[in-house]
Chain A
Amino acid sequence: NAGVTQTPKFRILKIGQSMTLQCAQDMNHNYMYWYRQDPGMGLKLIYYSVGAGITDKGEVPNGYNVSRSTTEDFPLRLELAAPSQTSVYFCASSPNLGGAEAFFGQGTRLTVV
């Protein structure tokens, strides 16, 4: 069981560069999420999706874009990287059940220099 798979695990970007963080899940979950975790802090929701073709903003969406063309994949795009986007990024998914837990990927550690 792969669960939620994120790539890459680590990345260093220069200011102004762009990149896409990949996320794939094999559990056929409707809901998928992107969170960021700054040092010493809890996770904050960036974007989420309730199904293919449907996405919505979370608490901290500025500087990011997402798309959901399939149930399995939910990539996160950074267009113009800034030092404030240095963080650990977690992708997660959950089924359409009341109170169901979210399953998290291993995280992507991104540093913008």
Chain B
Amino acid sequence: AQKITQTQPGMFVQEKEAVTLDCTYDTSDQSYGLFWYKQPSSGEMIFLIYQGSYDEQNATEGRYSLNFQKARKSANLVISASQLGDSAMYFCAMGPNQGAQKLVFGQGTRLTINP
């Protein structure tokens, strides 16, 4: 069975600072994908970034990057130059590398950006 663990229930960061949100995972599969989603207070789920287990380079999308350490089974999200609009819940999720994206989610981290 796959499992995602997010150990930081809440994080408080000053605006413009970088922030790292932790995510560790457990799986016996060799091929898998790791996702990060953002959930603002309005409730929708917004896709941020994806990393495949066979990708050798860490994924980046604008201010978001995924620090993928396969041996440690970690997939931390790094947000550079944080903005007030980054305040939200952040979920790490795992799924297959192909086919139906039956995702397993962590419990989430609530990020608050202070001005």
Chain A residues contacting B108 (CB-CB under 8 Å) are 40-42
Check: B68 CB closer than 8 A to any chain A CB.
Answer: no
Q: Give the Cβ gap from B102 to chain A, nearest Cβ, in Å.
A: 6
Check: B25 CB closer than 8 A to any chain A CB.
Answer: no
Q: Please judge, given known A-B contacts A90-B45, A99-B52, A104-B44, whether A44 and B105 are in contact too, CB under 8 Å.
A: yes
Indicate which residue in A33, A42, A99 contacts B102 across the interface (CB closer than 8 Å): A33
B102 and A45 within 8 A (CB): yes
Q: Give the Cβ gap from B23 to chain A, nearest Cβ, in Å.
A: 11
Q: How many of chain A's residues have a CB under 8 angstroms from any CB in B?
A: 28
A101 and B44 within 8 A (CB): no
A98 and B52 within 8 A (CB): yes
Indicate which residue in A43, A98, A100 contacts B91 across the interface (CB closer than 8 Å): A43
Check: B98 CB closer than 8 A to any chain A CB.
Answer: yes
B interface residues (Cβ-Cβ under 8 A, vs A): 4, 33, 35, 43-45, 47, 50, 52, 91, 93, 97-108
22 A-B pairs with C-beta separation under 8 A: A31-B100, A31-B101, A33-B102, A35-B103, A40-B107, A42-B91, A43-B93, A43-B103, A43-B105, A45-B103, A92-B45, A92-B101, A94-B100, A96-B99, A97-B98, A98-B52, A98-B98, A99-B33, A99-B52, A102-B103, A103-B47, A107-B43
A interface residues (Cβ-Cβ under 8 A, vs B): 31, 33, 35, 40-45, 48, 50, 58-59, 88, 90, 92, 94, 96-104, 106-107
